[in-house]
Structure 1
Amino acid sequence: MKPNILLITVDQMRWDCLSYAGHPIVETPNLDQLARNGVHFRNAYSATPTCVPARAAIMTGMSQRSHGRVGYQEKVPWNYEHMLAGELAQVGYHTQCVGKMHVDPVRNLCGFHNVVLHDGYLHHNRFKHTNTVAESFDHCDDYLPWLRDRAGASLDLTDLGLDCNASTVARPWHLAESLHPTNWVVTQSIDFLRRRDPRKPFFHWMSFVRPHPPFDPPQAYLDLYDGLDLPDPVVGNWAKREDPELAGLNPTTFGGNVPRRRLKKAIAAYYALITHLDHQIGRFFQAMEEYGVMHNTIVLFASDHGELLGDHRLFRKALAYEGSAKVPFILSDPGDLLHLRRGTTVDNVVELRDIMPTLLDIADVPIPTSVDGKSVLPLGQNSPTVWRDYIHGEHAYGNMSHHYVTDGTAKYIWYSQTGEEQLFNLQMDPMECVNVVADGAYADQLRMWRERLIHELKGREEGYVTDGKLQTGCAVKACLNHILQ
């Protein structure tokens, strides 16, 4: 029988928030064990680092240019011919997702046999004045009815008073820990182990909403970090120092000078959510041992994007900086079925589009020609392979719309509306504190990276390249024409 496949994704987790990766504060013992039983890819990126386009990359294996989502836009149908779950279902896998999908329509199965859904608080499904009954939140979410059945019919996701994009405010979860959305994903996933078809290999996607805001960890986890001498966020010499509009006082700010006490509490809660996730993932691993499937299951762990968490006085995601665009990525093989170089770290640059071809490769399933990503399995096995030199990422983001190219050792960022350029030496400056674009010693590198971006953007419908040069001020769009038709 083919190996079982477990895909674990979390939402908005930074690449560096793993004790295995050397974080001085965050404790992630179960994820660390995953890395010891597999391979840690230290230069993994989300090319378009917000929820919808990141999930398009995961489920289709396509680059953002191919899947067409180059920014964040809701209510654009998912009509892709080849998606990960569907390809595995066709060759006999029993497939299920529990948690976040963030697709359109919200009940689109995307090839899964079953989806137990909780996308978090999605504004467009909560707006009662614009949605039909079939689109309303009560009809498209499975967690909230479950919660109300167990803890009270009047409960809602907004009871804590925290917005779903509030990256600077936090408070502890107010109900029993077993009712937290993170625990719910694991509870439902364990139930899948009970009722799956034992004659078939399974593909299970455990898709957590946290540590995406609201920052609401159970009190026991907040107590692990609250009051510790937490490291301050890094602030580059290029970052804005002033906040004349007091944007930092907005709980859902993209940037600004946030009051120090509030920021420290938010950072503590963010770390607490990650440790809570880690322990619940460990709970699922215990259940896998009990059901006898731990050692014939391949596990891939990743995040859809990061969280800036105050770096450079910026918050949330979408931007190209490491805190936002770089993600954890671990391929683990507890039963040593794949003969990975267990306990090693790979430096090659990988992207979320590589998840689908990797898992299809593991299942010995043909990879559709629509897939742009590549299987990372040869990298994990130290087998001969030709790998990419860099990846191109981007995000439509108003006046901060941008493109970036990186190989994990350097990063070039171009802001398409202003023409601003940034170049970072990630080997010497891994947190991007010094923009070397004006340093003559980097002139040749700057030219090389700019030419790489020009190559990526040639022929784009927005008109980013004219006469071989980057064109500033082109109208940006969140979705390309071919998926809007």
Structure 2
Amino acid sequence: MGAAAVDGEPERTNQDAPNIVVVLSDEHAAAASGCYGHPVVQTPNLDRLAAEGTLYENAYCPSPMCVPSRLSMLSGRHVHDIGAWDNGVLPGAGFRSWGHHLRAAGYETVLAGRTHFNGPDRLLGFDRRLTDDLDFWITHDGRPPRRVPEWRRGSNSHVTEVGAAEHVHTRHDVNATDAAVEYLRGRARRPGDRPFLLYVGYMHPHFPLVAPPEFLAAYDPATVELPPTWDESVQAQHPVIAQVRRAFRNDEPPGPDLQREATACYWALISHLDHQVGRLLDEVDGSSLRDRTVVIYTSDHGEMAGHHGIWQKQVFYEPAVKVPLIVRTPGDLHEEPRRRRVTADVSLIDLLPTLRDLAGLSPEPSLPGRSLLSLPEGSRATRPVLSQYHAQGMVDGGFMLKLGRYKYCYYVHHPPQLFDVVNDPLERVDLAGDPDYAAAVGQLDAELRRVVDPETTDRRAKEDQRRRATGSADLTSPACSRDRGR
């Protein structure tokens, strides 16, 4: 590589830098995997990766919605810093992704499969693509969703469209694996080449819950145990949660038999995803790449899967915002096998500082995240972790701050929520109105406002969405503007 600059950083190649494979699924709740303790879901390959690497027990997404979470993760910046409000946002010229950053370290940066980028730029700073998103998932006009009380999803097909069959999502994922395996095979034959970052994105286990028959055969719907809150009454819920449920047609939950079938299909999609991860691991571990390749697995957000009567995401309950996160480095493979776990709260925005750390780049002070490599095993270091939502179903902005045992949910123009997720893991008891927790609410609200101004951010989001709805916006969002809305 020459001495050219990439976005202001001198381009250089560190021959000792590891290769990096990042696997990103869509809508995989952390709890729905064997290595996170699920007694039924079969994920032998993720379990193997966790047994050989480090599992982060409390990893959270930047937003419980696909595009905002992904753009925040790829830029290493909060949703409000880059204006990634909803699934219609088009990344603009100021957006800097993992690709931009690691090219500065001399990496070849490659994409395969699901990325959910919108617009004509299908690389966003990466060098090349092996396969792309499905066409019908790509938005080009930048139109925002309608954030009005009367908006409702056309149906609740996200839970009612279930069963055993072949599906275009399954074919997409297999094709992405095929392309990634071929790439890895070629790179193993060229050990002297510059290091690479390979991002492999999967559709599964995102709805529709149509699962490959051979994977669904492992799960009998009749034996599925529904979550204790599956039939929770919408009338008894927080008004914001009730509004989201109505918007996504979750206000009248399907019967228990259908929910059992939907759950079994969700688990089957996770097992199919796990099979694809296993194919990638086998290719890495069966070649010279094994001793010089970092493997990372995570998901863009979770899936409620019936908890609190909700399917999909769009809320701040644990099944929607807590994601699996596993990191295996070459050094892990030379230690005595043991389960390494970190309990500290971490965020997907921490991945960019981690990738920069692995690539030998110096820390970038403007990034709000931190390298995961700086957290020792068993670390309980406390740091506020932020998630936020500004899309359909939630008329006014919603913000979540997770700090240790407490989760604080702030809703513009509505009362907040407070949960103690240690004593109340199902998040059934809202403590926000309890006088004994007034100090905790005050502390967490102050912590939230140190990161983001909720009211100003809500106004910014709505104004940007109004401009985009009328076609008057210069659709360059999200361009980095770190000082706005703080």
With the shorter chain as reference, the TM-score category is 0.7 to 0.9
Matches within 5 A, 1:153-232: 166-174=158-166, 180-196=171-187, 198=191, 199-232=193-226
Q: Deviations over 1:223-272 (max 9, x none)?
A: 111334212123299851589xxx99999635431122221111101001
Q: 1:205 to 1:342 in 2, by over 3 A?
A: farther
Tell me which residue corresponds to 1:145.
none
Q: Which residue of 2 aligns with 1:374?
A: 370
**Which deviates the most, 226-235 or 316-325?**
226-235
2:276 matches 1:287: no
Which residue pairs with 1:433 in the alignment? 428
Q: What does residue 139 of structure 1 align with?
A: none
Shifted more, 388-397 versus 298-307: the winner is 388-397
Is residue 2:105 matched to residue 1:91? yes
The offset of 1:213, in angstroms, is 1.2
TM-score in terms of structure 1 length: 0.80
Tell me by how many angstroms 1:190 deviates. 0.6
Structure 1 residue 364 corresponds to structure 2 residue 360: yes
Question: What's 1:261 paired with?
Answer: 257
CA contact under 8 A between 1:35 and 1:343: conserved in structure 2? yes
Aligned match for 1:299, one of 295, 298, 307? 295
**Bigger mean CA offset, 250-259 vs 261-270:** 250-259
2:309 corresponds to 1:313: yes
Q: Which residue of 329, 350, 353 maps to 2:349?
A: 353
Deviation at 1:387, TM superposition (A): 5.5
Q: Could you tell me which residue of structure 2 aligns to residue 142 of structure 1? A: none
> 1:392 matched to which residue of 2?
386
Secondary structure, counterpart of 2:22 in structure 1: strand
Partner of 1:144: none
Give structure 2 stretches of 5+ with no counterpart: 1-15, 143-153, 238-242, 468-472, 480-486
Q: 1:448 aligns with which of 437, 443, 448?
A: 443
The answer as to whether partners of 1:242 and 1:257 remain within 8 angstroms in 2 is no
- TM-superposed deviation, 1:9: 0.7
Superposed counterparts of 1:90-109, under 5 Å? 90-109=104-123
CA distance, structure 2, for counterparts of residue 249 and residue 296 of structure 1: 47
| Distance verdict in 2 for CA 1:164–1:433, change over 3 Å | closer
Q: What's 1:143 paired with?
A: none
Match of 2:34 in 1: 19
Corresponding residue of 1:276 = 272
Distance 1:269 1:316 in 2: 14
Kindly provide the CA deviation profile for residues 418-451 of structure 1, in whole angstroms up to 9, marking residues without a partner as x: x122111100111211112222322221222223
**Residues 82 and 349 of structure 1, relative CA distance in 2, 3 Å threshold:** same
CA 366–18 in structure 1, closer or farther in 2 if over 3 Å, else same: same
Q: How many Å apart are 1:175 and its aligned residue?
A: 7.0
CA contact (8 A) 2:298 2:325 kept: yes
Once the two structures are TM-superposed, the CA of residue 371 in structure 1 deviates from its matched residue by 2.1
Q: Is the Cα contact below 8 Å between 1:5 and 1:297 reproduced in 2?
A: yes
Say whether 1:113 aligns with 2:127. Answer: yes
Tell me, yes or no, if the aligned pair for 2:342 and 2:378 is still in contact at 8 Å: no
Select between 367-376 and 352-361 the one with higher mean Cα deviation.
Answer: 367-376
Per the TM alignment, residue 95 of structure 1 is displaced from its structure 2 partner at its CA by 1.8
Q: Write out per-residue CA displacement over residues 69-118 of structure 1, whole angstroms, 9 at most, x where no aligned residue.
A: 1x314152332353212222232222211111222324431222211344
Q: Give the structure 1 partner of residue 63 of structure 2.
A: 48
Q: Structure 2: how far apart are the matches of 1:112 and 1:346?
A: 30
Question: Could you tell me how far apart the structure 2 residues matched to 1:206 and 1:350 are?
Answer: 22
Q: Which residue, out of 72, 85, 90, partners 2:86?
A: 72
Q: Give the Cα–Cα distance (whole angstroms) in 2 for the partners of residues 239 and 347 of structure 1.
A: 33
TM-score calculated relative to the size of structure 2: 0.80
Match of 1:457 in 2: 452
Shift of 1:17: 1.1
Letter in 1 for 2:369: G
Q: CA contact under 8 A between 1:35 and 1:342: conserved in structure 2?
A: no
Change (3 A) 1:116 1:210: same
Once residues 166 and 48 of structure 1 are traced to their aligned partners in structure 2, the CA distance between those partners, rounded to angstroms, is 19
Q: Which amino acid aligns with 2:158?
A: A
CA contact (8 A) 2:67 2:89 kept: no
Equivalent-residue separation in structure 1 for 2:19 and 2:478 (angstroms): 36
**Aligned partners of 1:483 and 1:296: how far apart in 2?**
37
Paired residue secondary structure (2:344): coil
CA distance in 2, matches of 1:399, 1:340: 51
Amino acid at match of 2:178: T
- Contact kept? 1:396, 1:478, Cα under 8 Å: no
2 CA distance for matches of 1:285 and 1:479? 45
Distance of 1:343 and 1:286 partners within structure 2: 20
Secondary structure in 2 matching 1:348 = strand
**Deviation at 1:289?**
2.8
Alpha-carbon shift at residue 214 of structure 1 (Å): 1.9
Structure-2 change in CA distance of 1:218 and 1:205 (3 Å): same
Identity of aligned residues (%): 27
Q: Are the equivalent residues in 2 in contact too, given 1:167–1:251 (CA < 8 A)?
A: no
Task: Please tell me whether residue 344 in structure 1 is matched to residue 336 in structure 2.
Answer: no
Return closer, same or farther for 1:115/1:370 CA change in 2, 3 Å cut-off: farther
Return 5+ residue gaps in structure 1 as ranges.
Answer: 132-161, 466-473
Structure 2 SS opposite 1:180? helix
Cα RMSD of the aligned pairs, angstroms, is 3.6
Name the CA distance, whole Å, in 2 between partners of 1:275 and 1:94.
30
